Chain A
Amino acid sequence: MSAVIDSGKRVAAAGADAPVRAHAIALPRAHDAVSEPARVRRTLIGAALAFLTLFLFVPLVSVFVQALAKGVDVYWAALVQADALSALKLTLIAASVSVPLNLVFGVAAAWAIAKFDFRGKSVLLTLIDLPFSVSPVIAGLIYMLVFGLQGWCGEWLRDHDMKVVFAVPGIVLATVFVTFPFIARELIPLMQAQGQEQEEAARVLGASGWQILWRVTLPNVKWALLYGVILCNARAMGEFGAVSVVSGHIRGQTNTLPLHIEILYNDYQFAAAFAVASLLAGLALVTLVLKLAVERRVRQQIAAAATERP
C-alpha cells in the first residue's frame, strides 16, 4: 500500500510542477479504496506510538536515567561492590550451565523429531513447550518439593551433607527448567522444513552420524542455533521468580543479579538498584539487536526450505 501512496504523491507532485497534466491529480483518489485517509492514518500511528511510549520507551529510558541520577561515581560503586560482583558471578555460572545443557538437549530433540517419524511426536512437542506455561514461582516450588528438606530427596541430601535448594545447584536447576524449551523450539521448525535429503546424501556417501551432524546439519541451522542461544541466555540471566524461590537470598552466596536488584531496591538504594538493572537492560537491548539481525535470516531460511521442498 505504501507504494500506492508514494506513486500518488509522485503524481501529485508532478501535477503541481506541470499544470498541463492537471488531470493526473485526480488519480490519487484511486488508492482511497484500500487505505485510510491521511487524518485517520496519523491518528492511528499517533495512538499506537503514544501507547508504546507510555508502556515501553519511558520505562526503558527511566532505567538508565535513574541509574545515573546520583552521578557516575555512585553508578560505578554499585557495580563493583562485592555483593554485586558475586551476584554477577552466580548469574554467569547459572547461564553457563543452563545454556550448554539446553543446547545439547535442543540438538538431540530436534534431530529425533525432524529427521525421523515416530509415534507420539506431537505429544513430545507439547511436553517440550510445557515449561513455558508453568509459572516461574511454580518452577521454583517443584524443586523445593524434590530437593527441599521436606522433599523427596531432602533427608538423603542432608545425610550426605549436600545442599541443592538455598544453594547454587538449586539456582542452576531452576534456571535450566525455565530456559528448557528455547533452543529446541528454534531448531525444530527449521530442521523440519529442511527435511533429511542432505543428511541422507551424506550417509550414502559414507559419512558417519557425527560427521553428518557436524558437517551438514549444524552448518545448515547455525543461525537458528545462535538465535536460540541468545534467547536462552537472556532468559537465564534475567530469571527472577523461579530463582527467588530456591535461592534463600543469602547475600554474597545465593544472589543472582535480579535478586540483588530486589534487595537493593527494598533497601531504598534506588540508584544502586537501577545501576545493576541497567546492566540487565543493556543485555536486553543487545539481545534485541542480535535478534533483529538473526531472526530475519532464520525466517528466510525456513521460507527457502519450504519453497525448495514441495
Chain B
Amino acid sequence: MSTRALLLRRHSVLPGFNLSLGFALLYLCFVVLIPLSAVFLKTFTVSWGTFVDTVTSPRVVASYRLTFGASLLAALVNGVFGLLVAWVLVRYRFAGKRIVDALVDLPFALPTAVAGIALTTLYAANGWIGKWLPFKVAYTPLGVFVALTFIGLPFVVRTVQPVLEDLQRELEEAAATLGASRLQTFARVIFPALAPALLTGFALAFARALGEYGSVIFIAGNMPMVSEITSLLIITKLEQYDYTGATAIAVVMLVAAFVLLLLINLLQAWARRRQGR
C-alpha cells in the first residue's frame, strides 16, 4: 500500500476499497455533481444586475410569497396534526391502528400526479369535499396549501414517532408524583423532549413543500401573480426557451434548499445530543 493511500484511510484487511469508492465517486460526479454544477456555471454567464432583475421581478416575487407562505402554513399544520397523529399511534389503542400507521406513508409512495388530480377533484366546487365548503379551495392559493399539507404529512409523524416510543415513562411518573397535572407534564416534560424531532419534521416537511411540483399544479389554477408556484415558473421560463431566467430562479430555490438541509442536519445533531443524555 502506498503512503498516499495510507494517509487517506486506516489499514484494513478487506479488499475493494479503491474499486468501490472509485465507482461511487465517479457515479456521484456524473449523475449528480456535474449536472448540478451546470446550474451555477450557467448563472455565472449572466451579469449580477440581470440576475437580480430576474429573481426580483414582481411575478417571481409573487411566486416566492405563495410558495414559501403555503409551504410554511402546510408545515405548521403538519407540525400540529403530525404530533397528534404520532401521539395517538404511540400511546393509544384503537381498531385499525396498524392500517392507519401504514397508510401514513401514503404521500411518500403515491405519485404526485395521482395525488394532484385526486385532491383537485375532491376540492373542486362540485367535489366530494369542495361542495360542503362555503369557500373555494381548488384553483386558489388555498388549494396549494391543501396539496402541500398532503405531501408533507408523513415527515412530522415519522420523526416524532420513534422519539415518543423511546421516551421514558419514569419521567412522567416522577412528574405526576411531584404533583404535576397531566397537562403540566406534557408541557414541561414530554414536549421539550419531543421538540428537536418536531422541529426536524417541520423543517423536512417545509423543505419538501418548497420544491413540490406535481401535486400542486393541478389544484393551483396557476394564475400568474396569484396561484403560480416558483417550480411552475421555472418550467414556464424553460418552455419559452429562457434558460437563463429559469436557471436564475432555480439557483435561488437551490440555495434555499441547501440552507434548509444544513439547518436540518444541525437540528438532527441537536436531537441526537438530547436523546443521548
Name A's B-contacting residues (CB within 8 A).
Answer: 1-2, 5, 32-36, 41, 44-45, 47-49, 51-52, 54-60, 62-63, 66, 101, 104-105, 107-109, 111-112, 115-119, 124, 126-131, 133-138, 141-146, 148, 150-152, 173, 176-177, 180, 196, 199-200, 203-204, 208-209, 212-213, 234, 237-241, 244-245, 257-259, 261-262, 265, 270, 273-274, 277, 280-281, 283-285, 287-289, 291-292
Contacts and interface: CB of A to CB of B under 8 A. Distances in A.
B243 A51 contact: no
B118 interface: yes
Nearest to B107: A56
A135 B81 contact: no
Contact of B129 (A2, A54, A66, A144): A54
Interface of B: 8-10, 12-17, 19-21, 23-25, 27-28, 31-36, 38-39, 42, 81, 84-85, 87-89, 91-94, 100, 102-107, 109-115, 117-119, 121-122, 128-129, 146, 149-150, 153, 169, 172-173, 176-177, 182, 185, 207, 210-214, 218, 231-232, 234-235, 238, 241, 243, 246-247, 250, 253-254, 257-258, 260-261, 265
Given A45-B94, A105-B23, A196-B14, A134 B254 contact: yes
B245 to A, nearest CB: 11
Contacts of B182: 32-33, 35-36
Given A44-B92, A52-B104, A34 B169 contact: yes
A39 to B, nearest CB: 12
A100 to B, nearest CB: 12
Contacts of A36: 182
A32 B6 CA distance: 61
A47 B92 CA distance: 13
A105 to B, nearest CB: 5
A118 B100 contact: no
